[in-house]
Amino acid sequence: MGECPICAARVDVAGDAIAGELLVCADCGAELELIATAPVELAEAPTAEEDWGQ
Amino acid sequence: MIRVSIVGGSGYTGGDLLRILLFHPQVEIHQVTSERHAGRPVSSVHPNLRKVCQHKFVAADELEPCDVLFLGLPHGQMMHRLSEFENLAGMLIDLSADFRLRDASAYQVWYGKAHACPDRLGSFVYGIAELHREQLQTATRIAGAGCNATATILALHPLYQAGLVDSAVVEVKAGSSQGGNTESPGSHHPERSGAVRSYKPTAHRHLGEIQQELGAGNIHFSATSIEMVRGILATCHVFLNQDLDEKEVWKLYRGAYGDEPFIRIVKERSGIHRYPEPKILAGSNYCDIGFERDPHSNRLVVISALDNLVKGAAGQAVQAFNIARGFDETTALEFPGLHP
């Protein structure tokens, strides 16, 4: 279980989840990235950005 | 089965009461009155009820005793006929404005005349379940709240209850069905269609009940008619007396309404339906509430939406009825609206 960094809702995190997984907050709809699992740390997932390459 | 009759059943609110109660598993519709349409099939006035409702309208003097009377009479009539209706049914649910205010002097202020039975004002429970659920459980006299008042009160109650409001300004955008089914020069199609009309910038009568229920004098209200048949969108500009971030506002509203069956907090991070809008609530008993904190001032914008004929009238009344009769509060009110 984690806390949404946007609206503070409780967010279910599966026991076998791994860092980097994307989740969606059921309350505010924010797309969240699982940063760490022990303890659970969630951050708003970065939105798609243009890749200018080299 | 509870025997229910509807007084003043030819109006839009009466039609929605029927639409809901005809599918209520504990209700038997006994009689529906209309002086203008007495003798005619109910479905001749409410065509959506063809093959669903076989009743004919009766005149009010043909009313027989029943268990519950829903009253959809024009404002100002119920208070003169209270004893007549009390002799017919043990429970009265009045959808007019006559018994919403508890204070006779406030009635004089907002309706411009003296109340006909001021000693009875306190005997009606104001019908918003989210505020008065406990009182409704034992109520036999219920006053349905005004539609604009319902949208405003539900939007702001958590903030006022927490003592967080310095002042608030509410702007309501309203659909044409608020005007009822009687034509007027203002409802004539060439005049009404496409209009965005400030019809009550100040002194709207619903402000009396808003102030009463929020316990607040520091609130202001304006109403604008727009191109919509059903629906209300209330935009509430709340000036906070302390700093709150959005997460704290989320917690406040979640705490107040998280368990409410008909309140949804709508504040999405993406998509096209980020905030409440009345279109998807047509026919439903939901009130959607969202908010956004102005990062440059102490203003919090709270937005609420509902169907004025359902959560703002008939659905709210059935919700209160369900509570008062001990039924599941959501009975006959589960319809979720239409999309698109």
Q: How do the domains of chain B map onto residue ranges?
A: 2-123, 147-307
In this prediction, what percent of chain A has a pLDDT beyond 70? 85
> Which has the closest alpha carbon to B18: B284, B313, B314?
B314
Q: Which two tokens stand for residue B104?
A: 């006779």
The pLDDT assigned to A46 comes to 80
In this prediction, what percent of chain B has a pLDDT beyond 90? 92
Least confident of A13-22, B54-63, B299-308: A13-22
pLDDT in tens, B61-72: 999 999 999 999
* pLDDT value at B193 more than 70: yes
- Of these residues, B53, B66, B117, B147, which one is catalytic? B147
Is the Cβ–Cβ distance between B301 and B237 less than 8 Å? yes
State whether B267 and A9 contact (CB < 8 Å).
no
B236 in catalytic set: no
A53 lies in some domain: no
> A30 contacts in B (CB within 8 Å)?
269
Q: Average pLDDT for residues B303-307, to the nearest whole number?
A: 98
The total number of structural domains in chain A stands at 1
The pLDDT assigned to B210 comes to 98
Tally of CA atoms within 13 A in the half-sphere of B137 that contains its CB: 5
Considering only the beta carbons, identify the residue of A6, A8, A27 that sits closest to B265: A27
A18 lies in some domain: yes
Q: Average pLDDT, whole number, for chain B?
A: 96
Least confident of B163-167, B176-180, B292-296: B176-180
The pLDDT assigned to B109 comes to 96
pLDDT in tens, B25-65: 999 999 999 999 999 999 999 999 999 999 999 999 999 99
CATH entry 3.30.360.10 includes domain B147-307: yes
The pLDDT assigned to B46 comes to 97
A30 lies in some domain: yes
> A27 contacts in B (CB within 8 Å)?
250, 254, 265
* pLDDT value at B320 more than 80: yes
- What dotted CATH number matches B2-123? 3.40.50.720
A27 lies in some domain: yes
The pLDDT assigned to B184 comes to 86
Per the structure, the complete domain to which residue A36 belongs is given by: 2-44
Is the Cβ–Cβ distance between B298 and B166 less than 8 Å? yes
State whether B267 and A28 contact (CB < 8 Å).
yes
Q: Average pLDDT, whole number, for chain A?
A: 88
* pLDDT value at B183 more than 80: yes
The pLDDT assigned to A50 comes to 59
* pLDDT value at B160 more than 90: yes
The pLDDT assigned to B181 comes to 82
The pLDDT assigned to A52 comes to 61
The pLDDT assigned to B315 comes to 98
Q: How many whole angstroms separate alpha carbon A35 and alpha carbon B227?
A: 47
Is the Cβ–Cβ distance between A34 and A23 less than 8 Å? yes
The pLDDT assigned to B199 comes to 86
Q: Average pLDDT for residues B195-216, to the nearest whole number?
A: 94
Q: Average pLDDT for residues B67-85, to the nearest whole number?
A: 95
Q: Average pLDDT for residues B310-318, to the nearest whole number?
A: 98
H-run or E-run covering A10: strand A10-11
Is the Cβ–Cβ distance between B183 and B189 less than 8 Å? no
pTM of the model as a whole = 0.94
Q: How many whole angstroms separate alpha carbon B142 and alpha carbon A45?
A: 49
State whether A30 and B250 contact (CB < 8 Å).
no
Q: Where are the beta strands (DSSP E) in B228-331?
A: 232-240, 263-265, 287-293, 299-306
Alpha-carbon distance A51 to nearest alpha carbon in chain B (angstroms)? 22
State whether A27 and B254 contact (CB < 8 Å).
yes
* pLDDT value at B186 more than 90: no
- Cα angle: A7, vertex B312, B301; to 5 degrees: 35
Is it true that B2-123 and B147-307 share their CATH fold?
no
The pLDDT assigned to A49 comes to 58
Total beta-carbon pairs less than 8 A apart between chain A and chain B: 27
Q: Average pLDDT for residues B5-21, to the nearest whole number?
A: 97
State whether A31 and B269 contact (CB < 8 Å).
yes
Q: What is the ipTM of this complex?
A: 0.74
Alpha-carbon distance B171 to nearest alpha carbon in chain A (angstroms)? 25
Main-chain phi, psi angles of B250, to 5 degrees: -55, -50
The pLDDT assigned to B236 comes to 98
Distances (CA, A) of B256 to A10, B114, B155, B292, B293: 16, 36, 11, 17, 18
> Which has the closest alpha carbon to B197: B230, B222, B177, B221?
B222
Q: Where are the beta strands (DSSP E) in B9-88?
A: 27-33, 57-58, 66-71
